[in-house]
Structure 1
Amino acid sequence: MPLTGHCLCKAVTYTAAVDAPIITGYDHCDDCQRQSGSTYSLVAVVPKASLTINGPIKKWTGTAASGNAVHRLFCSECGSPIAHDPDGAPEIIALKAGTLDTEIKKTLKPDTEIWTAGKLPFCQEKLANAFEFMP
């Protein structure tokens, strides 16, 4: 069953032709905190080639700590973040898991944390696969 989702206003929809994410995890980097407006961004990483996005997407490109570009995709209508696309890992894309269809996101089991160097002190949960920076 593919992974499907949409933005808040439903102008942007997407389908990832995979049965499950490669990784489901918490990204604690400062950029993801700012983009999500929360303590971390829950991401579902999928092969970029599996993803089809429909609708009015805008892109903002920033620079990762590695010096590589990170493209952040969002709905141009409602502003919902859809994914971040790191040039440092061109074969994958990280979907913002909160945009997955409700029944799909209910089944997610986060298994990885990245950028724990940016993890806020009041976030106590620690997953078995935790990386101080991007692995």
Structure 2
Amino acid sequence: MPLSGHCLCKAVTYTVDMDAPLLTGYDHCDDCQRQSGSTYSLVCVVPKDKLKTEGPIKKWKGTADSGNTVWRWFCSECGSPIAHEPEAAPIIALKGGSLDSEIKKGLKPDTEIWTVSKLPFCTENLAHPFEHMPQ
């Protein structure tokens, strides 16, 4: 069953031509904290070429610590975050909360990235931690 999801208002929908993400994890980078409005962002990494979207997506151009461009995707109608896309990589990180309910209930996060930015009150490891991106 392909992965699928949508924004809060359902104006943006997407499907991914695969049954499971390449990686499911917690992203603690400062930008993901701000985009999610929370202490971290649950991300599901998939190949860009497997993703098909429909609807009014707006993209905001940011700069990663590496100096490379990272595009932050969100619905232009309701503002729901959809993904972040590192321009220099063949992957995109879908926001786990945007997946369809039955799919996200089956996620098994196994990685934490950017723990160097993990907030100090988040004292427990949620999964296998990496200070930045997996090396």
* Shared fold, TM over 0.5: yes
5+ long unaligned stretches in structure 1:
none
Question: Amino acid of the residue matched to residue 52 of structure 2?
Answer: T
Give yes or no for contact 2:109–2:127 (8 Å, CA) kept in 1: no
1:83-122 equivalences under 5 Å are 83-89=83-89, 91-122=90-121
Q: Name the residue aligned to 2:40.
A: 40
Q: Name the residue aligned to 2:31.
A: 31
Alpha carbons of 1:114 and 1:75: their partners in 2 closer, same or farther (altered >3 Å)? Answer: same
Offset at residue 122 of structure 1 (A): 1.7
Q: CA separation in 2, counterparts of 1:84 and 1:52?
A: 15
SS in 2 for 1:133: coil
Kindly report structure 1 stretches of 4+ aligned residues shifted beyond 4 Å.
none
The two structures have a TM-score, normalised by structure 1, of 0.96
SS in 2 for 1:93: strand
Give yes or no for contact 2:3–2:99 (8 Å, CA) kept in 1: yes
Alpha carbons of 1:6 and 1:128: their partners in 2 closer, same or farther (altered >3 Å)? Answer: closer
Offset at residue 127 of structure 1 (A): 4.3
5+ long unaligned stretches in structure 2:
none
SS in 1 for 2:102: helix
The two structures have a TM-score, normalised by structure 2, of 0.96
SS in 2 for 1:61: strand
1:1-135 equivalences under 5 Å are 1-89=1-89, 91-135=90-134
More deviation, 118-127/80-89: 118-127
Give yes or no for contact 2:25–2:127 (8 Å, CA) kept in 1: no
Offset at residue 116 of structure 1 (A): 0.1
Question: Amino acid of the residue matched to residue 23 of structure 1?
Answer: L
Question: Amino acid of the residue matched to residue 116 of structure 1?
Answer: T
Q: How many residues align?
A: 134
Q: Deviations over 1:81-103 (max 9, x none)?
A: 000000232x1000000000000
Q: CA separation in 1, counterparts of 2:62 and 2:127?
A: 29
